[in-house]
Structure formats: C-alpha cells, structure tokens
Structure 1
Amino acid sequence: MEKTSFAQGEWLKNNARSTTLPFNRILVSPYQRALETFEQVNLAFDSALQPHLEIWEGITPYGSAELVIDYLSVQEKESVDSVLLISHLPLVGEIVAELYGKRNPISFYPATIAQIGWQDGKGEIMSYSYPPEML
C-alpha cells in the first residue's frame, strides 16, 4: 500500500496545474488507511501538505455525498479553490456522481485518483488515474 500511496502522491504532484502548492485544503478520513495514504502522499510533496490537513468524520466510507458537497460549497465561499480529498469507496464514487450530475463516468477502484473542476455547481472531470494493477 505504501508504494501505491506514494505513487498517487507523485501523480498528483506531476499533474498539478501550477508550480506552487496546488491544495488549499486536504480533507482526510479518520480511518487508518486514509491516514496512511495521506502520509505517503505528503512525503511525495516533501511534507508540504501537513499545514493544510483537516481530518473529517464526514468522509468515511458510508458518509453522505450531499453533506460533502455542502461542505465543499462552504469551502469555495471561503476562497478555498483546490481541495484534496482522501476518502473511501463507495463514498468517493458517490461524490463524483453528485459533482458531475448524477452519472459517474469513472469506475472507482482503490487508489483511483480523479481531478474535478467544479464551478457554479457543475463538475467537470479534468483527469483521472487508475492504479497500474487495474489497467
């Protein structure tokens, strides 16, 4: 798992749109696997993500996608324009479906990464990456 998590971090780092730290907020589930994933992704970013970390009970596996969208809307109003979400299945698929408009064009497997542009209540999938073993 550590190798996959670190690779996720490298992918995020290499595909970030700007040369500065691309995340204003990092939301991580309190479950052990999500915390371990954050640790590895943070290492890929030379430990620069820690100050932006928020551990949130709302993104556990059977959390509410609607609640997450509401929370992201609040973040947007507070000028948070880029959020990294480290969560679990099935919730991440449900969140993407909500952001994208109820139909999810991405199959989610463990370690799937999706970059979604969200503006005016509409989501657009910018890029995504599957773990190598799923290809």
Structure 2
Amino acid sequence: MQVLIMRHGEASFHAESDAARNLTNRGREQTAQMAVWLRTKVSRIDRVLVSPYIRAQQTLDVFKAEFPLPATSDIDVLSELTPGGDPEQTIEYLIALAEDGVDSVLIVSHLPLVGYLVADLCPGVYPPMFSTSAVACVSIDTGEGRGKLEWQQTAGSVS
C-alpha cells in the first residue's frame, strides 16, 4: 500500500480555537502546487483520511480541485488525525484498509502527528519535519505492518 502523508497548508493564527484556523492564501497556493506536482508522481488515490480541523478540510478541498479523485474514493474524517492524535490508531486503520484491498491512501493532518506516523511506520526513521503542504510517501508491507519512506517533498521545492 502507498500512503501519502500530507501536512495541511499554511493557516492563520487568528481564530477562536486551534480547530477553527483557516488556510491563508499562501496555504491554498502551496497546496495547489503540491497537488499538481503529485499528479506527476501518483496515478491514483483510493482513500482519503482527513482531520476534522478546518485547515485540513480546506487543504483537502484545494487538493481535490487540482488532483481529481476517482468517484470511488472514500473520504473518512477521523478525530485520530488531530495534532495530538494517536499514530498507532491510524496505523491500525491503514492496515485494515490494506487488508480490504485499498492500494493508495492520502492522509491530511497536522504536526506533530504527521512526523510520528512516518516514524512509527518506518523503523529507524526519526520523525521528519513537515513544512506546510509537505508530503511524505510511505510504502507499507501489509504482512509486516511496517513501511519504507520512499520520499518527502516540500511545497516550496515543486514547480
């Protein structure tokens, strides 16, 4: 299974709560750039897992405008994908999806969880930093439940 782990786009700090922060215009631009770049690297996404926080939802909306998802793609909003979420719960969910035949998943979430997901999936990998709209690609061996970090890309270095 291929898992694309994406941090949300740049968000404003002016909001009633952390969950209510909106993307900035720069965050929308970064996310659109990343989605366009990903079209050259990824042929399809079967399933999307996204945080319930507004900035993650908005990131997914911008992403979908540039990387059309198949009509068969399911989108799951998971409370486990908030900044303080439990990476092990998400990994268990990913393994269950793989066992159901899902080949590719996009996760849209937050720091520090995105880094912990990569580290917990990939033995020997320290949690990487994620700039806004950055994506890491992890291939998971479903038999072992462990993965390999294939690449990580920041929005600022795509064109």
TM-score interval (norm. to shorter): 0.7 to 0.9
Query: CA 1:49–1:30 in structure 2 vs 1: closer, same or farther (change >3 Å)?
Result: farther
TM normalised by structure 2 equals 0.74
**What are the equivalent positions in structure 2 for 1:49-88 lying under 5 Å apart?**
51-88=73-110
2:149 is aligned to 125
Tell me the SS of whatever aligns to 1:14: coil
Structure 1 stretches of 4+ moved >3 Å: 46-51
**What are the equivalent positions in structure 2 for 1:75-114 lying under 5 Å apart?**
75-101=97-123, 103-104=125-126, 106-114=128-136
Query: CA 1:105–1:39 in structure 2 vs 1: closer, same or farther (change >3 Å)?
Result: same
CA RMSD of the aligned region, Å?
Answer: 1.9
1: distance between equivalents of 2:100 and 2:124?
26
Letter in 1 for 2:115: G
1: distance between equivalents of 2:66 and 2:155?
16
Cα offset, 1:101, TM superposition: 1.4
TM normalised by structure 1 equals 0.86
Sequence identity, in percent? Answer: 31
Q: Name whichever structure is richer in helix by fraction.
A: 1
Contact 1:42 1:48 (C-alpha < 8 Å) held by counterparts: no
Contact 1:23 1:52 (C-alpha < 8 Å) held by counterparts: no
Give unpaired runs (5+ residues) of structure 1.
none
Higher relative contact order (CA 8 A, sep 6+): 2
Contact 1:26 1:49 (C-alpha < 8 Å) held by counterparts: no
Q: Is 1:38 the equivalent of 2:60?
A: yes
Tell me the SS of whatever aligns to 1:80: coil
